[in-house]
Amino acid sequence: MKTGPLPIAALLVILAGGLVVATGLGSSFIGPSRVAAALLGNGSRTDEIIVWTLRLPRVALATLAGMALGLSGAILQRALRNPMAAPSILGVTDGAALGVVTFLWFFSDDANVLTVSIHWQPLAAVAGAFAFAFLVGLLTVADRARNDPVRLILYGIALAALAKACVTLMMIVGPVYRASQALQWITGSVNAAHWMDVGVVAAGLALSVPVLILMRLPLRQIVLDRQTAITTGLQVNRHRIGLLVLSVMLTALAISQVGAISFVGLIAPHAARLFHGQFRSGYLLGSALIGGILVLAADTFARTIASPLELPAGAVTALIGAPLFLLLILRRQVRNG
Amino acid sequence: MIRTLLLLLLTLLIAVIASLHLGVHVYGPATVWQALFGGAESSSEIIVRTLRLPRTLNAVLTGAALSLSGLFMQAVTRNPLAEPGLLGVNAGAAFAVAFGLVLLGAVSIAGIGLLAIGGALAAAALVFGLSGALGPAAGPTGILLVGVTVTAMLASLTQLVLLIDETALETLLFWLSGGFADRPLPLLSIGVGALAIAFTGAAALSTSIDALQLDDQSASGIGVDVARTRLSALTLAALLSAGAVAMSGPVAFLGLIAPHITRRLMAARPGFLALSLLAMLTGAIIAVLADILARLIVAPGEAPIGAVLAFVGVPFLIHLLRAKRLRGVGV
């Protein structure tokens, strides 16, 4: 396994290049050099408006959300010692969707107007995500075969289906305008991004950094099996719950802004593991960077492939992520058998 | 067996009659009778004849087809979680139909049927092939993981296809959400055909499938061609689920719960042929009841059948996951 700062530097370069290219692509193409000039503040006035107020918030939001998802997946897989765990598979995403729909339904009046600020919506997503993560965790803990890593995923799948059914019903019962609002959110797209949204995700990421630095030792110890981890002086349960909370929070924050984007939290850590030792401290950073690159690429592809129509970015990530997940299941089985 | 059969038939009859009466407007028996046999032309009678009756028939056929499909799958894979909705077979048929309608412009009834069958067969081959590669160590849940993932992939492919054609999106979104109402009547013939073929197949395969309930070795020991039985049964299952998708769009969970309920209806374990007959009736009853519920719970709106079934199916799925002996269907 290669280690060292080189892969991280390479990822940073790819991400920076991707940001410039993605900002340039759109209804009017802007060359990389003009984008760079606009970013540095010495481009033409039109270029600067397009770049700073139209394109960049969206591109930045996609990247940051992807980073949060990648990081969340890496933490989740580490905390559960389960390489197949991913936030979107555990029912968290659909739980967040249910939170959003409930919020829109509960706080709309008869005239279809929201009675509270729309800025509470992320909070509703976070609450829904936590509620369903909690339920999935509860079911798994109550299961006799709880040590089988697949159980957690299966309960996640089951509860996700239930959450989806609730969402559908509430959208039908709820006012039409709100339904379309919710649908737009659920299909997972990054359009209509504002700097405000970017700030929310960035704040979440920034807050998780000191937490992760504080937990750097437990993060390594928790990879060991339970008994050994306890012997090394780790309070396994407490740290596991702490890491799970952090992971769910990051996912919820990301999807509350960009909608249900699936499979990123699953793939990014695996990709990071491919060229970066998972016991190096750069592993989490690598997962985050790859997650950012993935969502940025998916969103850019989704909005340019059939322009002016727009594909939900979540569909693109599912299309790439699902075969990889299958590969993962097959490889795991080969190793076990 | 005979008593259970008669009881199920009676229940189905009651459910069908209730389905004709209940809805946003509750019609009296006289109106329904007039609509069916009298040929009167008041608006309520037309509603019963052209809306309620077709959707009830559709529910009966779709329910029977999905239930039998689930039974076939569960029996030959010995996997209690096998089901066309969860294993990607429905999604495969749905993708093929969407693909055909948008890109090839095939709109004939026969075209839709053929597309659905092709998609269902391909998806079934993919899922069962992949889970076969997992080997027996994967247990009954490995196939579920593969199926759910293939479903996610096919669903996003369907989304891609729909993006190309916005008008197709309008019509297909409705169809893809699954449900028994407002479906073109001629499509029912596909379901009838699939059911007839599959039930004949069930009769032909029943002794082999019964032998398969032991294990592969014992079954081949008494002269059963295990691979061929399994392949034929899964093909029939895919055919049934394709028929169901062509009629009503992808409907999940019905194929999962109906066979389990059927098995629990009887103290003794009947042979596969008897079981498939009972399963078809049970599936039809569940579908009709779910359809009535879909009309009532959010009236005057209408709930998608998939959502109604999820509320029953998910707790059932969780129960199955928690069951002591997940392996082996002979609960």
CB distance B153–A306 less than 8 Å? no
Cross-chain residue pair A326–B130, CB shorter than 8 Å = yes
- On the question of pLDDT at A226 being above 80, the answer is no
Give the closest-approach CA distance of A210 to chain B in angstroms: 35
* Nearest C-alpha in A relative to B148: A157
| Prior bond of A122 cis (ω within 30°) | no
Q: How many contacts does A have with B, using Cβ atoms within 8 A?
A: 111
Structure tokens at A249: 């929070």
Note the helical H segments in chain B.
2-21, 29-33, 43-47, 53-77, 89-99, 109-134, 139-164, 166-176, 188-212, 216-221, 226-248, 254-265, 272-297, 305-322
- Work out the angle between the directed axes of helices A282-304 and A313-336 (0-180°, nearest 10): 140
For residues A241 and B232, the model is more confident at B232
Highest mean pLDDT among A265-274, A312-321, B86-95: B86-95
pLDDT value, residue A196: 81
Give percent of chain A with pLDDT exceeding 90.
9
Q: How far is CA A289 from the centre of its chain?
A: 12
Measured between CB atoms, does B169 come within 8 Å of chain A? no
- Judge: B150–A329 Cβ closer than 8 Å, yes or no: no
User: CB-CB: which of B133, B146, B307 is closest to A165?
Assistant: B307
- pLDDT confidence of residue B329: 40
First to last CA, chain A: 24
The residue assigned the tokens 């969407």 is B98
Choose the mutation target among A141, A155, A169 for the interface with B, i.e. most B CBs under 10 Å.
A169
Residues 118-147 of B with CB under 8 A from A: 130, 133-135, 137-138, 141-142, 144-146
Domains and CATH numbers, chain B: 1-324 (1.10.3470.10)
The Cα–Cα gap between A108 and A104 comes to 6
- CA distance linking residue A66 with residue A254, whole number of Å: 7
CA distance B318 to chain A (A): 7
Tokens representing residue A136 in the block: 């999935």
Quick check: A97 pLDDT over 60?
yes
Cis peptide before A83 (omega within 30 of 0): no
Cα→Cα distances A118→A103, A121, A332, B162, B282, Å: 9, 6, 43, 30, 47
Mean pLDDT of each 10-residue bin along chain B, 331 residues long: 90 93 83 78 81 92 96 88 88 90 76 88 90 71 83 87 71 76 84 94 91 81 84 92 89 90 84 93 95 85 85 87 56 28
Mean pLDDT confidence for A176-200: 69
Statement: residue A4 has pLDDT above 70: no
pLDDT of res. B327: 44
Interface with chain B: mutation pick from A101, A152, A333, highest number of B CBs within 10 Å: A333
The residue ranking higher by pLDDT, A245 or B38, is: A245
Q: Which of A47-51, A319-323, A332-336 has the lowest mean pLDDT?
A: A332-336
DSSP A114: B
Give dist(CA B128, CA B329) in Å, integer.
Answer: 18
CATH numbers and ranges of domains, chain A? 8-334 (1.10.3470.10)
Distances (CA, A) of B38 to A98, A199, B47, B184: 48, 68, 14, 24
Highest mean pLDDT among A1-5, A161-165, A167-171: A161-165
Lowest mean pLDDT among A1-10, A264-273, B89-98, B209-218: A1-10
Nearest CA in chain A to B303: A169
SS3 track for A185-229: HHCCCCCCCCHHHHHHHHHHHHHHHHHHHHCHHHHHHCCCCHHHH
* Token pair listed for A179: 């339904």
Residue of chain A whose Cα is closest to the Cα of B166: A309
A244 pLDDT exceeds 80? yes
ipTM: 0.79
CB contact under 8 A, B159 and A169: no
pLDDT of residue A245: 87
Give the position of tokens 């802007």: A30
> Are the beta carbons of A326 and B313 separated by less than 8 Å?
no
Q: Say what the pLDDT of residue B274 is.
A: 92
What pLDDT, on the 0 to 100 scale, is given for residue A304?
83
Identify all chain B residues contacting A161, using CB atoms and an 8 Å cutoff.
Answer: 252-253, 310, 313-314, 317
pLDDT digits (tens, 9 = 90+) for A105-153: 877 766 666 667 667 777 888 899 889 988 988 888 887 776 666 777 7
